[in-house]
Structure 1
Amino acid sequence: MAQPNGELPKIPRRHARVQATPRPMRALSVWLKDGRLVGAFLALVGILALGYGCFHPRFLVTDDVEVRGQRALPTERAKRESGVQGRNVFLLDPREIEARLTKVPYVRRVRVERWLPNHVRLTIFEHFPGVSWCNSASTDERYLVDEEGVILGPEEPEMPEIIYIVNTDPEAAPLRAHGRVDPEAVQTAQQVFSRLSSDLGIALLPFEYEPGRGITAVAADGWRAVFGTAERLDEKVGKLALLLQRGTPFTEVDLRKPNQIYYY
Structure 2
Amino acid sequence: MQANWSALDSDPRRLLQLAGEQGGARAANPPRPRNSLLRGLANWGGGRLISAAMLLLASWAIWTVHRAPAWHVHWVEVVGCTLISPEQVVGAAGLADAWSVELEPVTVAERVRTVPGVRTAQAEVWLPNHVRITVSEERPVAVLQEADGQLWVTERGQLLCPFGKVDHLPVLALPSGNWPGESMPAEVINGLSAMAAAFPGQSEFQYDPMKGFMIKDNRGYPVYLGNASELARQLAVAAALDKQLRAKGQVPQFVDLRTVAGAYYR
- The TM-score, its normalising length taken from structure 1, stands at 0.37
Q: Determine which structure has the larger helix proportion and give its number.
A: 2
Q: Determine which structure has the larger strand proportion and give its number.
A: 1
In our comparison, the structure showing a higher alpha carbon Rg is 2
- The TM-score, its normalising length taken from structure 2, stands at 0.37
